[in-house]
Each structure stands twice: as structure tokens, then as C-alpha cells.
Amino acid sequence: MLNISDYSVSDQIRVKDLKTLSSVESKKSSRVLLRLMTGTFVIGVLILLLPWTQNIRSNGTTTTLNPDQRPQSIHSVIPGRIEKWYVKEGDFVQKGDTIAFMSEVKAEYFDSQLLNRTTDQTEFKKLSVTSYEEKINNLDKQITALTTQKKLKLDQGQIKLQQAKLKVTNDSIVFYAADVTYQTARKQYDRLQELFDQGLKSRTDLENRNIKLQDSYSYLIKAENDLLASKSDLIAAKIELSNIQMNYETSVAKARSDKFSAVSSKLQSQGDVSKLENQFSNYEKRNSFYYILAPQDCYVTKLIANGIGETVKEGAAIVNIMPTQYQMAAEIYVDPIDLPLVKIGSPLRLQFDGWPAVVFSGWPNISQGTYGAKVYAIDQYISPNGKYRLLVEQDPDDYPWPDALRFGGGVHTMILLEDVPIWYELWRKINGFPPNYYMDKAAAKTAENK
């Protein structure tokens, strides 16, 4: 007994009859207490010397590594009216399978023969282009013919002009000869008049000479008239040559103007053909948008546009899907103060919601139910929750993650840092110091080289 009370009952108890009490009181409690304290101290010192892995605790959710493997919505490219559903929620669909069919709601696309009519319009415009091409070819031939004819006409006009010049020269010579003859006849008449006045010549001779004078004068008048006519013909030849030049230039200019008009009309028709072909392609592509198709192998998770006859707007979500093939990852958030301790490739241990685990945060190697991971990417900007997002992927050298993981499940993480003794970790936390900055040997060597 302890015998700590002022009132003892030992004289009233027969200790020898109580074997257990007799055995206890026969040992020295101080020695037992000393041994107990010594053992506890030794064990405590050994525990403080044990290694402890510093870590950063964080929470997050599961996601996929590639963006095309995450849950997504299929949107309607065009406005339309739901006519028929080919799937229901939870169905598996392969890439290209039809999910729903929509009908048109815009009046300009109601025509059931829209593609055929557009094709006909395109063909008509192509015929118009062909007609303009023929017209351009004919005008080119006409311009060539006019150019050739113009050259021939000009050559003919030059010949006529040369002939007119030669005739003027000839008539000038004839006029000069007639003038000389007339002057000679005039002088002869004057001399004969003097002789007649002197009575040396008869009147008959004088009258005959006068007749010759009048004949020479008549010949002179005729020669002068011919010379003036030749000069008039020369001027007419020049005018005709100028008219030929002007008329053919006018005809060629008109033909070229018609050609340019035909070329302009042809280009406009070609533009109309391209526009109609573009419209046909748009109409054809729009017809394919009436069928909502699965972009990849996936599961239908939720139908957003319910029922038959519901009208959806352009770009509105029709259905939510989840791809069947994906590479699972996790996104977690760390405080800004812990971000410098994390780098690409830093190791982590993950605990998924729904999977039992026995976790020793400082001894990840003996934890059960956790899975290895490493940091894949770090956001360069802070998230709305005031933390930085990390994207982590499965560690290929560790146990594979459970196959039954689903997108959006909860994740509890431990970002593993440096191994330190337990006493150091307790001292760090008591003083509020941050964990040691972890740098592997390769990174340390690279930093040292820099």
C-alpha cells in the first residue's frame, strides 16, 4: 500500500493472509519507478532520433491529364429543334454515333430542295461564264481582223495619196507647159498685130494667130483646172487616209471596250459562281449539323436539352459526356508560402476518397492505402481560392492507381520533402520555421554549375 494517509489501517489488516498485498508491499516501488522512467527516456530519445519525412498536406480532386479526356459538353453549332433522341443517360456511344437529330428553325433554310436549287443556280452561272468567254474570244478575233484590215486600208490609202501627189506634180508640169505655150502665142499675136498694123500681114493671118492664142489660153485654163482638181484629189486622199485611221481606231476601241465589259461580266459571274459554291458548301455542312454526333468513344452522362420539340440556340449545350479512354491525374492546391518548396517532378503520396488507408505522414514507406504520384505542372497564376494549383500524375515506378477511380473524386495528398530527425521537425514546428527546401542531387549540381 502507499501509506500516504494519516490514518493507517495496517494494524487492522492481516497482511500475511493476503498474498497479493504481501507480494506488492515486499518490493521497493522506487526501483520500479526508476526503471520505468529510464526506459521511457531511452525510448523517447530513440523516437526523437528516428527519421521523419517533411511533407505538405493538401486536398484536391481527381481529373485527367489531357483536356480532351475530361468531361465535356456537346454543343449545337446551329439553332434547331430537337426531333429525336437516339441515346439515354448512361449509354455508351462510339465515335460518330448519332446522339440526337434536330430540324431547321430558320425560314431561309426551310426549302427541302435548297441544295438542288443552289446547284442549278451554280450551273447557270457557269454557263454565263462560258458565254462571256466565247464573247471575249470573238471580240479578240474581231480586234485582230480590224487591226489587219486597218493596216491594209492604210496601205491602200497611202498608195492613193502617192498617186494624188504624182498627179498634182504631172498637172503642174502640164499647167506650166500650157502657160509657156500661152505666153508664146500671146507674144506671137502681139508681133503679128504690129505687122498687121504696118500692113505687112493680112487680117487672115492675124485672125488665125488669134485663134491659136485662144486655143492656147483654153488649154491653159484646162491645165489649171486639172491642177486644181489634182490638188483637191490630194487633199481628199489625205482626208480619206485620216478617216481610215480614225474609223478603224474607233472600231477597235469599241471592240476592246466590249471585250473589257465582257471580261468584267465574266469576272462578276465567276465571283457569283464562287459565292454560290460557298453557299452550297455551307448548306451541305449545315445539313450535317442536324445530327449531333459523338466526338469520341464516351458515356452519355446527362441530357441537357430534354424532350422532343425543344428549341435550342446556336452554341447551346445539348448533352454532357465522359470519355472512356483517359489518363487519370489529380489537381491539388497549395498555399503560396509552400509553393517555393514544390517543383516539377516532386514526389507525392495520394489517398483517394473511398479507398481505406492507414497513413503515417512522416513515414510514407510504411503507410498503407496510399499511391505514388509526382508533380506534372504548376500554375503560373494564383487561383480564385488564394492558392496555387498543381497537376499531378501517376508515378510509373509505384503501384498503379485504382481502376475504379472516377473524375472529380476527393484526394488527400502529401507532398514529400526532405528527411529529417523527429526532434528537428518538432523544433521546427515549435519555432514556426518552414520545411527545408528540397533539391535533388541533379538539380543541386545544375544550380552549382550555374
Nearest to 405 by CA among 358, 348, 355, 443: 355
CA-nearest of 425, 419, 426 to 53 is 419
> The cell 507647159 sits on which residue?
177
Does residue 441 register a pLDDT over 50? no
Return the CATH number at 353: 2.40.30.170
Q: Going by C-beta distance under 8 Å and a sequence separation of 6 or more, which residues neighbour residue 417?
A: 53, 54, 55, 56, 341, 435, 436, 438
For 36-54, write each residue's pLDDT tens digit: 888 888 888 787 777 766 6
Is 29 in the same domain as 76? no
pLDDT higher at 13 or 132 = 132
Alpha helices in 28-100 (DSSP H): 29-49
Q: How many Cβ atoms are within 10 Å of 218's Cβ, its own excluded?
A: 12
Please tell me the least confidently modeled range out of 29-38, 68-77, 316-325, 348-357: 29-38
Q: What is the pLDDT of residue 362?
A: 61
The number of beta carbons lying within 10 Å of the beta carbon of residue 328 is 20
User: Is 137 in the same domain as 250?
Assistant: yes
Give the pLDDT band of residue 434 (cuts 50, 70, 90): low
Measured CA to CA, the distance from residue 393 to residue 63 in angstroms comes to 10
| Residue indicated by cell numbers 520533402 | 417
**pLDDT for position 6:** 59
Q: Supply φ then ψ for residue 85, to 5 degrees.
A: -105, 135
* 213 shares a domain with 87: no
Rg, the chain, Cα only? 60
Which structural domain range is residue 301 located in? 71-104+290-323
SS3 293: strand
Instruction: Inform me whether the pLDDT recorded for 190 exceeds 80.
Output: yes
Residues 365 and 347: beta-carbon distance below 8 Å? no
Please check whether residue 88 lies inside any domain of the structure: yes
pTM of the model: 0.59
Return mean pLDDT, the chain: 82
Joined together, the cell numbers standing for residue 28 give 521497493
pLDDT digits (tens, 9 = 90+) for 267-293: 999 999 999 999 999 988 888 899 999
Q: Would 109 be classed as within a structural domain?
A: no
- Strand duo 51-64 + 317-323: pairing: unpaired
pLDDT at 27 over 60: no
Asked whether residue 125 falls in the same domain as residue 99, the answer is no
- In three-state secondary structure terms, 336 is helix
**Which residue do the cell numbers 493671118 mark?**
205
Model confidence at 359, pLDDT cuts 50, 70, 90, reads low
* pLDDT computed for residue 443 by the predictor: 43
pLDDT tens digit sequence for 207-252 = 887 888 788 888 888 888 888 888 888 888 888 888 888 888 898 8
Whether 253 and 132 share a structural domain: yes
pLDDT of residue 71 exceeding 80, the answer is: yes
pLDDT tens digits, 397-429: 888 888 888 888 888 887 776 667 777 767 777
Q: Would you give the DSSP letter of residue 337?
A: G
Please state, for a pLDDT cut of 90, what percent of the chain lies above it: 19
- Among 56, 3, 53, 60, smallest CA distance to 342 is for 56
Task: Work out the pLDDT band at 81, boundaries 50, 70, 90.
Answer: very high
Higher pLDDT, 251 or 197: 251
**Residue 86 confidence (pLDDT) above 80:** yes
| 126 and 233 inside one domain | yes
| Per-residue pLDDT, 419 | 65
Tell me phi and psi for residue 110, to 5 degrees. Answer: -70, -25
Distance CA 382, CA 339 (A): 11
124 and 231 together in one domain: yes
Q: Are residues 88 and 156 in the same domain?
A: no
Specify the higher pLDDT residue, 171 or 364. 171
pLDDT tens profile 87-109: 999 899 999 999 999 999 888 88
What span, in angstroms and rounded, lies between the C-alpha atoms of 142 and 166?
A: 36
Angle at which helices 203-288 and 114-197 cross, to 10°: 170
* Residues linked to residue 57 through DSSP beta bridges, in sequence order: 414
Distance CA 359, CA 345 (A): 22
The pLDDT value recorded for residue 4 is: 56
Q: Please give the full DSSP string across 60-71, using - where no structure is assigned.
A: EEEEESSGGGS-
Please state, in angstroms and rounded to a whole number, the distance separating the CA atoms of residues 154 and 377: 87
Largest separation between any pair of C-alpha atoms in the chain: 228
pLDDT at 438: 46
Same-domain check for residues 319 and 330: no
266 inside domain: yes
Per the structure, the count of domains in the chain is 4
For residue 324, give the nearest of 138, 81, 61, 70 by alpha carbon.
Answer: 70
Phi, psi of 346 (to 5 degrees): -65, 140
| Distance in Å from the first CA to the final CA of the chain | 73
Q: Residue 387: inside a domain, yes or no?
A: yes
Q: At 83, is the secondary structure helix, strand, or coil?
A: strand
337 with 407, same domain? Answer: yes
Question: Tell me, what CATH number does 93's domain have?
Answer: 2.40.50.100
